[in-house]
């Protein structure tokens, strides 16, 4: 049966210039390259200096629109996933809409779903496209996590990085089968039971500040493996595809040991799993679009391939997307 699908027609990303290595970190807190590498898989991360979230997100969006062969005036809706906005209000999406020159009246808003933010944004945009409310949607994930990290806490400061990734979606007609190009299935979830396990120790209405990232690493780790693999399996089932059909699994980039366990549970070969955390660290909402855009630009991920995206983060929130590029 004919249906409307959201095809990804452009990708873009942006990383702040400054790179912070594990050795640099070992000069700042009691840690070592060896500990960080073996416990997390992270070797280096990018850190914003003068850049803000709107700057790196704006560049990622600009590149995605250019790569789609469109101009900002073609955009019908813009959704930015971030937990590190330039200002508490207005949204960083509104700032980017102004800077890039989106049309008057085009909806632009931020969503807060931490590391699952991009999967949430993609889900919302896909629904708007399929409902006919937008023909061209831009979704982005961008973070300057370095601004809310406690640089004296070795338990957290070694894990995170800054960056941005974006995708342009366009309405296309599909056959309604798993051979279609575009988003085939989406799922998003939340469960507030683990509200305390991962987040910041403050916020606007409680402490009149943004707070710093705090985490119960072991608890998050345990749930992450289950949430990431279940969301991936569910969207594969929804799309009517099996693990052999999947060209690339793109999991949220938090810890290589989590990624390996998820791949093992899904019985997806390690060489079909995209890993970018070695040079990005955990960039929260940016992690999936950044990994996707970078690997598409390098030619590793190709048009026509079937991707499974899966994310999990503070809230807890989690979700997945199955998409054919």
Shortest distance in whole angstroms from residue 105 CB to ligand UT7: 35
Whether 282 is catalytic is yes
Instruction: Give the nearer residue to ligand UT7 in terms of CB position, either 40 or 91.
Output: 40
Inter-residue contact 116 to 188 (CB < 8 Å): yes
Instruction: Give the nearer residue to ligand UT7 in terms of CB position, either 137 or 164.
Output: 164
Instruction: Give the nearer residue to ligand UT7 in terms of CB position, either 15 or 36.
Output: 36
Shortest distance in whole angstroms from residue 254 CB to ligand UT7: 3
Which residue of the set 14, 67, 115, 227 is catalytic? Answer: 115
Instruction: Give the nearer residue to ligand UT7 in terms of CB position, either 109 or 221.
Output: 221
Residues sharing a CB contact under 8 Å with residue 61, sequence separation 6 or more, in sequence order: 12, 78, 96, 100, 138, 140, 166
**First-to-last CA distance in the chain?**
20
Burial of 215 (0-12, 13-18, 19+ CB in 10 A): middle
Whether 252 is catalytic is yes
Shortest distance in whole angstroms from residue 55 CB to ligand UT7: 23
Which residue of the set 13, 223, 252, 280 is catalytic? Answer: 252
Shortest distance in whole angstroms from residue 255 CB to ligand UT7: 4
Shortest distance in whole angstroms from residue 133 CB to ligand UT7: 31
Tokens encoding 85: 């906005």
**Which single residue brings its beta carbon nearest to ligand UT7?**
217
Instruction: Give the nearer residue to ligand UT7 in terms of CB position, either 31 or 295.
Output: 31
Shortest distance in whole angstroms from residue 241 CB to ligand UT7: 26
Instruction: Give the nearer residue to ligand UT7 in terms of CB position, either 6 or 255.
Output: 255
Give the integer Cα–Cα distance in Å for 294 and 61. Answer: 14
Shortest distance in whole angstroms from residue 172 CB to ligand UT7: 32
3-state secondary structure the chain: CCEEEEEEEEEEEECCCEEEEHHHHHCCCCCCHHHHHHHHCCCEEEECCCCCHHHHHHHHHHHHHHHCCCCHHHCCEEEEECCCCCCCCCCHHHHHHHHHCCCCCCCEEEECCHHHHHHHHHHHHHHHHHCCCCCEEEEEEEEEHHHCCCCCCHHHHCCECEEEEEEEEEEEEECCCCCCCEEEEEEEEECHHHCCCEEECCCHHHHCCCCCEEECHHHHHHHHHHHHHHHHHHHHHHHCCCHHHCCEEEECCCCHHHHHHHHHHHCCCHHHECCCHHHHCECHHHHHHHHHHHHHHCCCCCCCCEEEEEEEECCCEEEEEEEEC
Whether 280 is catalytic is no
Residue numbers at the binding site for ligand UT7 (CB under 6 A): 31, 35-36, 39-40, 115, 154-155, 158, 217-218, 220-221, 224, 254-255, 258, 282, 313
Instruction: Give the nearer residue to ligand UT7 in terms of CB position, either 35 or 109.
Output: 35
Q: Any idea which residues carry the catalytic annotation?
A: 115, 252, 282
């Amino acid at each position: 049966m004919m249906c409307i699908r959201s095809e990804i027609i452009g990708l873009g990303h942006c990383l702040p210039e400054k790179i912070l290595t594990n050795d640099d970190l070992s000069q700042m807190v009691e840690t070592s390259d060896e500990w960080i590498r073996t416990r997390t898989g992270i070797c280096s991360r990018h850190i914003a200096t003068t850049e803000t979230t709107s700057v790196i997100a704006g560049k990622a969006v600009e590149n995605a629109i250019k790569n789609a062969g469109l101009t900002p005036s073609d955009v019908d809706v813009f959704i930015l996933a971030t937990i590190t906005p330039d200002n508490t209000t207005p949204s960083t999406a509104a700032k980017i809409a102004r800077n890039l020159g989106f049309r008057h009246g085009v909806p632009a808003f931020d969503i807060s779903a931490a590391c699952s933010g991009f999967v949430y944004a993609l889900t919302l945009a896909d629904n708007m496209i399929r409902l006919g409310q937008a023909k061209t949607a831009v979704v982005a994930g961008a973070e300057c996590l370095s601004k809310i990290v406690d640089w004296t806490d070795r338990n957290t400061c070694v894990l995170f990085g800054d960056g941005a990734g974006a995708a342009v979606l366009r309405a296309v007609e599909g056959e309604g089968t798993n051979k279609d190009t575009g988003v085939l299935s989406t799922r998003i979830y939340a469960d507030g039971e683990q509200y305390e396990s991962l987040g910041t120790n403050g916020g606007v209405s409680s402490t009149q500040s943004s707070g710093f990232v705090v985490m119960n690493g072991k608890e998050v780790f345990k749930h992450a493996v289950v949430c990431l693999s279940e969301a991936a399996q569910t969207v594969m089932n929804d799309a009517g595809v099996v693990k052999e059909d999947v060209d690339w699994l793109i999991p949220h980039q938090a810890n290589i040991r989590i990624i390996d366990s998820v791949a093992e549970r899904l019985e997806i070969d390690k060489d079909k799993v995209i890993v970018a955390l070695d040079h990005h660290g955990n960039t929260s909402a940016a992690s999936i679009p950044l990994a996707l855009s970078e690997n598409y630009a390098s030619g590793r991920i190709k048009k026509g391939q079937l991707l499974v995206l899966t994310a999990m983060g503070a809230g807890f929130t989690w979700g997945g997307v199955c998409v054919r590029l």
